[in-house]
C-alpha cells in the first residue's frame, strides 16, 4: 500500500457564528505519521472530518497528492477513519464489519475471505471472526475498527482519538501497535489527540492547534524543546514560565532580570534587544537540584515548599529567595546512593544551563 | 429531510388540520341536523355558560384530580418496591399485563363485580342480605375507582423507570448521614424522581380529564364528564359548534396544564 | 435503602386489586349458568362464542384488518420519520417533536371528535378506511418515538462510518440503519398493534355502519348488560395479552 500526501490550504470552517477553523494550512508528507494535537474544541476533529469528507470546508482546499478532493464525498475518498468510539456495526460480526467495504465493491466471496483473513492476522484478531462487537474488549474493538478502515486500502488513515476510551496501560500498548502497523502498511496516518504524550511518542510531525488555528508544526522534539509560544509551552508537558526584562545582549546569550528570581543568563533563540520584556520557558527536568552549592552561571538558593514522590522521579516546588516558585523534576538515578535525599523544608541550591531556557514571547521595550 | 416528509404530512393532515377545523367550527353557527353555517357566532361558547355545564366541568376537574392523587399515592410505594425487588422483572410483568389489557374489559370486570346484577349483589341476594341490590356503581366514586384501576399501571411504569435509574448509594449516603427512612423518602427520593413523577401525573390526569367510556359505563346521570357531553352534543344534540367549543376548551386546559406543569417542575429541577 | 413493610404491603394489595376483577371474570366464563352465581364448570359460553356469535367474529376480523394494516403503515412512516429526525440536519425539528407529542397529550376523545368532524367536512364516508386512518394517526408518534429511542442507543458516527467505508445513502439505510433499529421497529409494530386492537374511544367516533370493531362490539354488549359471552371473549383476549406481553418483554425498553 502506498500513502498520499495531504495538503490543507487556507481552510475555514464555521458552525453558525463559531469559527472552528481559521485559515488552516498544513502539508503532510506521503506515508507520514502526523498528529493534530490540541485541547478539546481547538478544531482538530473538525479538520480531520474535513480531510475525511464528513464535513465540508467553508473556504480553502484539501489536496491528496496535489489533487483537490473537496468535491469528492466521503464514500469515494481514499481516506478512511477510525472513529473515537470505533462506530462498529453492532449487528455485524467482526468478519462482516471488516468485509463491509469489500462487499460494497462486489468482490467475490473468495477474495473477501482471503482479504479479511489477512487483515485479521494483521491486527491479531484470529479466532474472533464470528463475534459481535459487544462481545469484544475495548482493545479488540479498536483493532476491528483499524482492520475495517484498512480493508478499503485507503491512502490516508484518519484516527480520531482512537485510544482515549481505553485505560492507561492498554493505551500505551495499542499506541505501540499503531506505530508498528504504520511501519507495516506504509500509508499516511493522521492522528488526532488531546494527549501530548501520545502525540510526541509516535508522530513524525505534530501540528499543535488552539482556537481553530495551527500554532506550531514541527517534530515532537522541536515542539517540546522549543515551543513557539506560551500556549504550546504550557500545553505540552510542564514548564516554568518566567517574565523577565532584557538587561544585556551579546551574540549568543542575553542577561535578564526576572521578578522573584533576580538576574540570570539565557540563550538568545529569538532576536531581542535591551529593554524588551520577554517570557521564558524552562522545563522542570532541566534544572539541577542539590543540598550543596552548585557550579553554574544560573545558580539560585531556595527552600523546598512541596515534595511529590512519583516513583520514577520526585517533583519539587522550590521557593527561591526572591520569591519565585520553581518546578523541578529530579530523576531517581541511583536514588538510594544519592548524596542526600531532598525533603520538604530542606534548603537547596538549583541551577540550569542557559541553553535550556527558551524565549516564547517578546514585547519590544 | 425526505424521510420525515410522509410522517409530518400525515400528522398535519389528520391531526393538526382536524384540530384547526374544530377550533374554527367552535366560532360558527350551528345548523339543525349537525354541520355548520359559515358565519361567525359565539353561540357555541355561550351555550356552555350554563349552570349544568359548569357543574360538569367542575365535576370533571375534581374527579380527575382525586383519581390522579389516589393513583400516585398507591403508585409510588409500588414502583419503589418493584424497583428494589429481587423479582422486579416478574413484578413488572404483573403490572404490564393489565396495562396491555383491553380497557373495556377492565371496565367490564368492575361492572361484573359491582354491578346491580354483579357477583357481589348476587351473593348478597343469595344469602338474603338484600332484597334486590345495593347500587355500588353509577356514581362519581365508581368512576374514580375505575379510573384509578385503569391508569395505575400508567403511573407505576414511569415512576418505576425513574427509581430504577437512581443510584442506590444516594439512599445509603442519606441514611449514613443520619436521615430516617421516612425523611430519605421525601428529601432524597422524591426530588430525584421529579421527571418520572411529572410523567406519571400527566399520564393519569390527562386521560382522566378526557374520560369517556368509564363515566359512560359505570357513571350515573350525576357523574357524566366533559367527554360524555362532547359526544352528546355531537351525536344526539347535533350541535357541532358546541361540541367543538367544549373540545377546544378541553384541549386548551390540558395543554396549558401540561405546559405549566412541565415548566414549573423544570424550574424546580434547575433551582 | 431496602423497601419497608409498608411498600411491600401496598404492592401486594395493588396486585390483588389488579387481578381480582380479572380472575373473577375469567372464572365465570366457565360457569354453567347465565347469572353470576357459580353453578358449575362448563365450556358452554365458549361454545356459543365459537358457534353462534357471527357478529363478534365479524368485528374481530375488522379489528385484525385495521390493526395489521394501520400498524404496518404507522411503523413504516414512523420508522422513516425517526430515521429522518435522527439522521437529517434540517431546521424545524422542534416543530416535528411538538406535533409528535401533542397526540400523546391530547385526550383521545378530542382526536376522535376532530377526526369525525374532519371526515364529515371532507365528505368522506365513515368506514373501515376512516378507522384505519385514525389508527395510523394515533400510532404514528409512538412508532416514531420507539424507533428513535432505539436509534439513540447508537452514536451518529455509525452512519458516518458506513459512508466513510464507501456506502451510498441507500446502502447505509438498508445495511446499517434498518438492521440496527430492527428491534425498535418490531417494538413499534407491536405497540401499534396493541394500541389499535385496544382502541375504543377514537374508533367509536370514526366508525360507520358495518365497520364495527371488536371493542365497539364489546362496548355495545356491555351496555346491554353483563353476559358470560363477554367473560369468554375477555378471557381469550387476556390470554392473547399475556402471550403478547411475554413475547414483547424483550422489546419493552424501547417502549418506556
Residue B61 clears pLDDT 80, i.e. is over it: yes
Contact flag C161-A54 (C-beta cutoff 8 Å): no
Q: Does A152 touch chain C (CB under 8 A)?
A: yes
Cβ atoms A207, A37 nearer than 8 A: yes
Indicate the DSSP class of residue A268. -
Contact flag C167-A73 (C-beta cutoff 8 Å): no
Q: Over pLDDT 70: what percentage of chain B? A: 97
| Average pLDDT of the segment spanning B86-91 | 88
Q: Are residues A313 and A225 in the same domain?
A: no
Residue to substitute from B119, B190, B203, interface C, most C β-carbons within 10 A: B119
Q: Does A78 touch chain C (CB under 8 A)?
A: no
The pLDDT value given to residue C210? 84
Q: Does C152 touch chain A (CB under 8 A)?
A: no
| Average pLDDT of the segment spanning B22-29 | 92
Domain boundary among A234, A261, A288: A234
Kindly report the nearest CA distance between residue C185 and chain B, in angstroms: 15
Domain boundary among A197, A217, A234: A234
Q: How confident is the model at residue C254 (pLDDT cuts 50, 70, 90)?
A: low
Residue A264 lies in a domain: yes
Q: Does C178 touch chain A (CB under 8 A)?
A: no
Query: Which is more confident, C241 or C164?
Result: C164
Contact flag C85-B4 (C-beta cutoff 8 Å): yes
The partner residue sitting opposite A75, judged by closest CB among C155, C157, C166, is C166
Using CA coordinates, name the residue in chain C closest to A160: C157
The pLDDT value given to residue A1? 56
Query: Which is more confident, B36 or C131?
Result: C131
Q: Does C170 touch chain A (CB under 8 A)?
A: no
Residue A106 lies in a domain: yes
* Calpha distance A75→A165 (Å, rounded): 26
Using CA coordinates, name the residue in chain C closest to B119: C36
* Calpha distance C33→C169 (Å, rounded): 64
Using CA coordinates, name the residue in chain C closest to A79: C164
Contact flag B234-C237 (C-beta cutoff 8 Å): no
Q: How confident is the model at residue A337 (pLDDT cuts 50, 70, 90)?
A: low
Q: Are residues A358 and A259 in the same domain?
A: yes
Give pLDDT tens digits for C194-223: 899 989 999 999 998 889 999 999 999 998
Q: Are residues A121 and A53 in the same domain?
A: yes
Domain ranges for chain C: 1-42, 53-254
C78 interaction partners in chain B (CB closer than 8 Å):
7
Q: Are residues A217 and A265 in the same domain?
A: no
Mean of the per-residue pLDDT values for chain A?
Answer: 91
Q: How confident is the model at residue A311 (pLDDT cuts 50, 70, 90)?
A: confident
Domain boundary among A234, A256, A275: A234
C109 interaction partners in chain B (CB closer than 8 Å):
210, 212, 227, 230-231, 247, 250
Between 1.10.3720.10, 1.10.8.50, 1.10.10.10, 3.90.1150.10, what CATH number should domain C53-254 receive?
Answer: 1.10.3720.10
Q: Does C163 touch chain A (CB under 8 A)?
A: yes
| 3-state SS, residue A278 | strand
The pLDDT value given to residue A336? 58
C162 interaction partners in chain A (CB closer than 8 Å):
89, 100
Using CA coordinates, name the residue in chain A closest to C169: A75
Residue A195 lies in a domain: yes
Give pLDDT tens digits for C62-117: 999 999 999 999 999 999 999 999 888 888 888 888 889 889 889 999 999 999 99
Q: Are residues A306 and A329 in the same domain?
A: yes
The pLDDT value given to residue C175? 92
The pLDDT value given to residue C253? 58
Q: Are residues A224 and A242 in the same domain?
A: no
The pLDDT value given to residue A365? 76
Using CA coordinates, name the residue in chain C closest to B252: C106
Contact flag C171-A105 (C-beta cutoff 8 Å): no
CATH code of A267's domain: 2.40.50.140
Chain B neighbors (3+ CB pairs < 8 Å): C
Contact flag C226-B115 (C-beta cutoff 8 Å): yes
| Average pLDDT of the segment spanning C52-56 | 87
**DSSP string over chain C:** ----HHHHHHHHHHHHHHHHHHHHHHHHTTBSSSSSS---B--HHHHHHHHS-HHHHHHHHHHHHHHHHHHHHHHHHHHHHHHHHHH---TTHHHHHHHHHHHHHS-HHHHHHHHHHHHHHTTPPPSHHHHHHHHHHHHHHHHHHHHHHHHTTS-THHHHHHHHTT--HHHIIIIIIHHHTHHHHHHHHHHHHHHHHH--HHHHHH--TT---HHHHHHHHHHH---HHHHHHHHHHHHHHHHHHHHHGGGGGGT-
| Average pLDDT of the segment spanning A159-164 | 89
Chain A neighbors (3+ CB pairs < 8 Å): C
Q: How confident is the model at residue B216 (pLDDT cuts 50, 70, 90)?
A: very high
Residue A36 clears pLDDT 90, i.e. is over it: yes
The partner residue sitting opposite C161, judged by closest CB among A87, A91, A151, is A87
Q: Are residues A131 and A104 in the same domain?
A: yes
Residue A203 clears pLDDT 90, i.e. is over it: yes
C161 interaction partners in chain A (CB closer than 8 Å):
81, 83, 87-89, 148
What ipTM does this complex have? 0.91
| Domain total in chain B | 1
| Average pLDDT of the segment spanning B121-133 | 85
Q: Are residues A151 and A267 in the same domain?
A: no
Phi, psi of A107 (to 5 degrees): -75, 160
Using CA coordinates, name the residue in chain C closest to A54: C160
Burial A32-43 (b: 16+ CB within 10 A, else e): bbbbbbbeeebb
User: Nearest 5°: CA angle at A288, between A283 and A294?
Assistant: 145
Kindly report the nearest CA distance between residue C115 and chain B, in angstroms: 6
| Average pLDDT of the segment spanning C215-236 | 90
* Calpha distance B146→B67 (Å, rounded): 9
| Domain total in chain A | 2
The pLDDT value given to residue A182? 92
The closest alpha carbon to A61, from A20, A16, A25, belongs to: A25
The count of CB pairs under 8 A between chains B and C is 264
Q: How confident is the model at residue B266 (pLDDT cuts 50, 70, 90)?
A: low
CATH code of B103's domain: 1.10.3720.10
A100 interaction partners in chain C (CB closer than 8 Å):
162, 165, 167, 175
Using CA coordinates, name the residue in chain C closest to A98: C165
C208 interaction partners in chain B (CB closer than 8 Å):
none
The pLDDT value given to residue B267? 59
For A169, the domain range is: 6-234
Residue A76 lies in a domain: yes
**Pairing, β A240-249 against β A253-258:** antiparallel
| Average pLDDT of the segment spanning B208-230 | 92
The pLDDT value given to residue B270? 47
Contact flag B14-C137 (C-beta cutoff 8 Å): yes
C134 interaction partners in chain B (CB closer than 8 Å):
14
Give pLDDT tens digits for A40-73: 989 999 999 999 999 999 999 999 999 999 999 9
Q: Are residues A49 and A187 in the same domain?
A: yes
Residue A184 lies in a domain: yes
Q: Does A340 touch chain C (CB under 8 A)?
A: no
The pLDDT value given to residue B195? 82
Residue A1 lies in a domain: no
The count of CB pairs under 8 A between chains A and C is 64
User: Sign of dihedral through CA atoms A334, A337, A338, A342?
Assistant: positive
The pLDDT value given to residue C57? 92
Using CA coordinates, name the residue in chain B closest to C202: B212
CATH code of A122's domain: 3.40.50.300
Q: Are residues A150 and A12 in the same domain?
A: yes
The pLDDT value given to residue C1? 56
Using CA coordinates, name the residue in chain C closest to B235: C205
| Average pLDDT of the segment spanning B174-197 | 80
The pLDDT value given to residue C252? 60
Chain C neighbors (3+ CB pairs < 8 Å): A, B
| Average pLDDT of the segment spanning A224-251 | 91
For B196, the domain range is: 2-270
The pLDDT value given to residue B268? 54
The pLDDT value given to residue A113? 94
Query: Are there at least 3 beta-carbon pairs closer than 8 Å between B and A?
Result: no
The pLDDT value given to residue B220? 85
Kindly report the nearest CA distance between residue C164 and chain A, in angstroms: 5
Q: Does C157 touch chain A (CB under 8 A)?
A: yes
Q: Does A148 touch chain C (CB under 8 A)?
A: yes
Amino acid at each position: 500500500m502506498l500513502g498520499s500526501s495531504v495538503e490543507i490550504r487556507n481552510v475555514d470552517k464555521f458552525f453558525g457564528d463559531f469559527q472552528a477553523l481559521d485559515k488552516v494550512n498544513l502539508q503532510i508528507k506521503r506515508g507520514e505519521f502526523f498528529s493534530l494535537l490540541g485541547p478539546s474544541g481547538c478544531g482538530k476533529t473538525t479538520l480531520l472530518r474535513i480531510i475525511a469528507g464528513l464535513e465540508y470546508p467553508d473556504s480553502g482546499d484539501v489536496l491528496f497528492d496535489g489533487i483537490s478532493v473537496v468535491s469528492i464525498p466521503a464514500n469515494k475518498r481514499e481516506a478512511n477513519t477510525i472513529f473515537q468510539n470505533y462506530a462498529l456495526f453492532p449487528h455485524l460480526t467482526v468478519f462482516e464489519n471488516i468485509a463491509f467495504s469489500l462487499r460494497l465493491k462486489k468482490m467475490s466471496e473468495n477474495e473477501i475471505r482471503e482479504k479479511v483473513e489477512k487483515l485479521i492476522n494483521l491486527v491479531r484478531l484470529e479466532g474472533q471472526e464470528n463475534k459481535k462487537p459487544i462481545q469484544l474488549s475495548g482493545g479488540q474493538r479498536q483493532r476491528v475498527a483499524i482492520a475495517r478502515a484498512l480493508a478499503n486500502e485507503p491512502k490516508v488513515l484518519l484516527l480520531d482519538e482512537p485510544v482515549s476510551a481505553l485505560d492507561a496501560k492498554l493505551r500505551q500498548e495499542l499506541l505501540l501497535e499503531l506505530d508498528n502497523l504504520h511501519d507495516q502498511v506504509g500509508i499516511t496516518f493522521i492522528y488526532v489527540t488531546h494527549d501530548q504524550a501520545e502525540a510526541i511518542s509516535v508522530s513524525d510531525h505534530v501540528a499543535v492547534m488552539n482556537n481553530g488555528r495551527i500554532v506550531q508544526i514541527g517534530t515532537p522534539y522541536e515542539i517540546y524543546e522549543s515551543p513557539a509560544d506560551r500556549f504550546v509551552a504550557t500545553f505540552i508537558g510542564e514548564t516554568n514560565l518566567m517574565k523577565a526584562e532584557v538587561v544585556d545582549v551579546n551574540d549568543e546569550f542575553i542577561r535578564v532580570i526576572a521578578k522573584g528570581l533576580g538576574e540570570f543568563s539565557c540563550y538568545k533563540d529569538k532576536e531581542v534587544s535591551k529593554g524588551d520584556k520577554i517570557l521564558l520557558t524552562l522545563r522542570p527536568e532541566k534544572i539541577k537540584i542539590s543540598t550543596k552549592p552548585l557550579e553554574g552561571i544560573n545558580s539560585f538558593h531556595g527552600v523546598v515548599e512541596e515534595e511529590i514522590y512519583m516513583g520514577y522521579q520526585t517533583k519539587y516546588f522550590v521557593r527561591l529567595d526572591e520569591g519565585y516558585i520553581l518546578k523541578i523534576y529530579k530523576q531517581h538515578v541511583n536514588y538510594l546512593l544519592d548524596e542526600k535525599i531532598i525533603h520538604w523544608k530542606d534548603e537547596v541550591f538549583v541551577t540550569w544551563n542557559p541553553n535550556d531556557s527558551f524565549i516564547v514571547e517578546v514585547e519590544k521595550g | 429531510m425526505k424521510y420525515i416528509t410522509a410522517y409530518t404530512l400525515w400528522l398535519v393532515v389528520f391531526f393538526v388540520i382536524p384540530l384547526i377545523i374544530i377550533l374554527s367550527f367552535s366560532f360558527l353557527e350551528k345548523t339543525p341536523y349537525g354541520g355548520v353555517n359559515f358565519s361567525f357566532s359565539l353561540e357555541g361558547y355561550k351555550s356552555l355558560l350554563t349552570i349544568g355545564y359548569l357543574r360538569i366541568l367542575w365535576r370533571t376537574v375534581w374527579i380527575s384530580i382525586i383519581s390522579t392523587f389516589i393513583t400516585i399515592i398507591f403508585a409510588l410505594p409500588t414502583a419503589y418496591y418493584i424497583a428494589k425487588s429481587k423479582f422486579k422483572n416478574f413484578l413488572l410483568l404483573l403490572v404490564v399485563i393489565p396495562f396491555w389489557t383491553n380497557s373495556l374489559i377492565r371496565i367490564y370486570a368492575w361492572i361484573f363485580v359491582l354491578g346491580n346484577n354483579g357477583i357481589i349483589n348476587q351473593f348478597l341476594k343469595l344469602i338474603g342480605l338484600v332484597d334486590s341490590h345495593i347500587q355500588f356503581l353509577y356514581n362519581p366514586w365508581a368512576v374514580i375507582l375505575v379510573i384509578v384501576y385503569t391508569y395505575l399501571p400508567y403511573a407505576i411504569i414511569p415512576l418505576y423507570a425513574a427509581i430504577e435509574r437512581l443510584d442506590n448509594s444516594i439512599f445509603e449516603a442519606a441514611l449514613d448521614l443520619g436521615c430516617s427512612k421516612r425523611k430519605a423518602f421525601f428529601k432524597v427520593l422524591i426530588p430525584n424522581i421529579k421527571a418520572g413523577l411529572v410523567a406519571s401525573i400527566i399520564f393519569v390526569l390527562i386521560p382522566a380529564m378526557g374520560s369517556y367510556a368509564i363515566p359512560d359505563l359505570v357513571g350515573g346521570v350525576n357523574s357524566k364528564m366533559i367527554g360524555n357531553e362532547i359526544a352528546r352534543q355531537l351525536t344526539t344534540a347535533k350541535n357541532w359548534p358546541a361540541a367543538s367549543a367544549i373540545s377546544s376548551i378541553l384541549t386548551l386546559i390540558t395543554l396549558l396544564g401540561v405546559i405549566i406543569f412541565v415548566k414549573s417542575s423544570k424550574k424546580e429541577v434547575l433551582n | 435503602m431496602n423497601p419497608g413493610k409498608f411498600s411491600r404491603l401496598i404492592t401486594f394489595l395493588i396486585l390483588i386489586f389488579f387481578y381480582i376483577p380479572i380472575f373473577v371474570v375469567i372464572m365465570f366464563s366457565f360457569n354453567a349458568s347465565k347469572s353470576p352465581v357459580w353453578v358449575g364448570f362448563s365450556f358452554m359460553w365458549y361454545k356459543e362464542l365459537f358457534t353462534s356469535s357471527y357478529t363478534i367474529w365479524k368485528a374481530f376480523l375488522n379489528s385484525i384488518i385495521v390493526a395489521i394494516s394501520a400498524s404496518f403503515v404507522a411503523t413504516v412512516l414512523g420508522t422513516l420519520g425517526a430515521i429522518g429526525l435522527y439522521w437529517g440536519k434540517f431546521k424545524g425539528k422542534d416543530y416535528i417533536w411538538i406535533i409528535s407529542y401533542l397526540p400523546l397529550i391530547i385526550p383521545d376523545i378530542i382526536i376522535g371528535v376532530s377526526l369525525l368532524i374532519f371526515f364529515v367536512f371532507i365528505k368522506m364516508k365513515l368506514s373501515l378506511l376512516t378507522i384505519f386512518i385514525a389508527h395510523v394517526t394515533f400510532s404514528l408518534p409512538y412508532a416514531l418515538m420507539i424507533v428513535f429511542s432505539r436509534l439513540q442507543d447508537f452514536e451518529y458516527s455509525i452512519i458516518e462510518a458506513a459512508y466513510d467505508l464507501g456506502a451510498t445513502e441507500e446502502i447505509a439505510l438498508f445495511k446499517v440503519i434498518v438492521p440496527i433499529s430492527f428491534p425498535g421497529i418490531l417494538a413499534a409494530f407491536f405497540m401499534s398493534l396493541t394500541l389499535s386492537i385496544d382502541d375504543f374511544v377514537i374508533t367509536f367516533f370514526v366508525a360507520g355502519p358495518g365497520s364495527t370493531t371488536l371493542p365497539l362490539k364489546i362496548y355495545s354488549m356491555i351496555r346491554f348488560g353483563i353476559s358470560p359471552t363477554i367473560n369468554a371473549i375477555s378471557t381469550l383476549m387476556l390470554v392473547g395479552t399475556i402471550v403478547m406481553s411475554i413475547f414483547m418483554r424483550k422489546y419493552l425498553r424501547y417502549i418506556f
